[in-house]
Amino acid sequence: MDRLKIVFVDGVFSAEKSDDLSLEGVEIEPLSKATARDIHWASGVYGVLEARGQTPVERPLAALNTAFATEGMAIRATGKVSKPISLIYLHESPTSDAMVHHVIRVESGADLTVLENGPAAARFNKVMEVDIADGGAFHHVRAQGRDHERRAVTGIFARLGTESTFKSFTLTVNGILTRNEAVIELTGDDAIAHVAGACVGDGRDFHHDDTVFITHDAVNCESRQVFKKVLRNGATGVFQGKILVKPDAQKTDGYQISQSLLLDDDSQFLAKPELEIYADDVACSHGSTSGAIDETALFYLRSRGVPQSEATDLLTLAFLAEALQEIEDPALADDLRDRLAAWLERRA
């Protein structure tokens, strides 16, 4: 895929390994340079959205990141960016602790896609603040998978203007402890926010947590939360999702679904879906299910000569399909689907 690559090694920006940061329609510079200036567009975003996300639930690791992180990128999209910005996190030191903080501003009418992947560090704390102006669009696709010993906490804090769009998808495999938080405010009318994730966990050491808090504070906005987890061999998955609809946020359309597929009796899925609604003209729903693989579908495939492990993988991919459909770019969705199928085949 044609993309602009920005590389971090153990949480430190590497200009040598990265592409030239010049690209039409976007301004990119290291966060350390942006914060050294007295007047800079990032001053209205950096630490501001994270601070807003501390209410009503405190997020101490995000606050720690804002206080101490010196590495990261300041990215400002001023038009439709021709290719994705790819943030690549390399891990070389076995004992590295990394804090990375990205500040992103999408101006009115601009369109930006950000990709993330890589093992990052032994312990990784990352925050991304995203401010989307009226009519702007931000697309985010993240893959967490190469680092078998991953211990990571990430936070996305986003604010949406009128008729703006925010879409984020995360694919997670491997790792020991992962917590992905998303705190999103829809402050302009007719805004759209979609957050989705697909997760496959294997082993008793695997613990994966998705925590999402979406606040509707404007009229005729739409939000979707779609999270699917496949767990086996004693893995643990957690989902905490909330939709808050404020009194003036009429005609809100809020949808939330969290589902798990448990491939054995030792794995567990812990879910806490919530709706808090103070407006009366809304369409909000939430649901959470947990169950075993469909024995009828498994029997159907096996009766037609498909080996059990392959049939299980096919049904697993079918279960995760709804979350993968949240990816805007079909090529990206196909790529992640192929990578997920390869991972399942290796773990058969």
Q: Are 291 and 319 in contact (CB under 8 A)?
A: no
Q: What are phi and psi of 59, to 5 degrees?
A: -125, 80
Give the separation between CA 148 and CA 145, rounded to whole angstroms.
7
Give the separation between CA 7 and CA 82, rounded to whole angstroms.
19
Give the separation between CA 281 and CA 51, rounded to whole angstroms.
30
DSSP 327: -
Query: What would the mean pLDDT of 224-250 be, rounded to a whole number?
Result: 97
Question: On the CB side of 83, how many CA atoms lie within 13 Å of its CA?
Answer: 12
* Residue 255: strand, helix, or coil: strand
- pLDDT (0 to 100) of residue 160: 98
- pLDDT (0 to 100) of residue 148: 87
Q: What are phi and psi of 90, to 5 degrees?
A: -95, 150
Percent of the chain with pLDDT strictly greater than 90: 93
- pLDDT (0 to 100) of residue 38: 81
- pLDDT (0 to 100) of residue 37: 86
- Sheet arrangement for strand 123-132: 26-30, 73-77, 97-106, 123-132, 151-160, 177-186, 207-216, 236-245, 268-277
Q: Are 84 and 3 in contact (CB under 8 A)?
A: yes
Give the separation between CA 24 and CA 40, rounded to whole angstroms.
19
Query: What would the mean pLDDT of 172-199 be, rounded to a whole number?
Result: 97
Give the separation between CA 136 and CA 162, rounded to whole angstroms.
9
- pLDDT (0 to 100) of residue 39: 84
Burial tier of 251 (Cβ tally within 10 Å: 0-12, 13-18, 19+): middle
- DSSP string for residues in 288-322: EEEE---HHHHHHHHHTT--HHHHHHHHHHHHHHH
Confidence of residue 250 (pLDDT cuts 50, 70, 90): very high
* Residue 51: strand, helix, or coil: helix
Burial tier of 179 (Cβ tally within 10 Å: 0-12, 13-18, 19+): middle
- Predicted confidence (pLDDT) at residue 348 exceeds the cutoff of 80: no
Query: What would the mean pLDDT of 109-128 be, rounded to a whole number?
Result: 96
Which are the contacts of 23, defined by CB distance < 8 A and separation ≥ 6? 4, 81, 82, 83, 85
- pLDDT (0 to 100) of residue 255: 97
- Predicted confidence (pLDDT) at residue 347 exceeds the cutoff of 90: no
Query: Whose structure tokens read 């404020």?
Result: 246
* Residue 145: strand, helix, or coil: coil
Q: Mean pLDDT lowest for which of 28-37, 185-194, 270-279?
A: 28-37
Query: What would the mean pLDDT of 56-84 be, rounded to a whole number?
Result: 96
In one-letter notation, the amino acid at residue 166 is: F
Calculate the average pLDDT of the chain.
95
Name the helix (H) or strand (E) containing 60: helix 60-68
CA–chain centroid gap for 8, Å, is 19
Query: What would the mean pLDDT of 211-236 be, rounded to a whole number?
Result: 97
Give the global pTM: 0.96
- Predicted confidence (pLDDT) at residue 209 exceeds the cutoff of 90: yes
Confidence of residue 320 (pLDDT cuts 50, 70, 90): very high
Give the separation between CA 289 and CA 325, rounded to whole angstroms.
19
In one-letter notation, the amino acid at residue 160 is: L
Summarised one tens digit per residue, pLDDT across range 121-165 is 999 999 999 999 999 999 999 999 878 889 999 999 999 999 999
- pLDDT (0 to 100) of residue 136: 98
Give the separation between CA 216 and CA 302, rounded to whole angstroms.
47
Alpha helices per DSSP H over 88-221 = none
Angle at 182 between CA 231 and CA 57, to 5 degrees: 105
Q: What are phi and psi of 218, to 5 degrees?
A: -155, 170
Closest CA to 90 of 8, 173, 15: 8
- pLDDT (0 to 100) of residue 270: 97
Summarised one tens digit per residue, pLDDT across range 280-312 is 999 999 999 999 999 999 999 999 999 999 999
Q: What are phi and psi of 280, to 5 degrees?
A: -105, -10
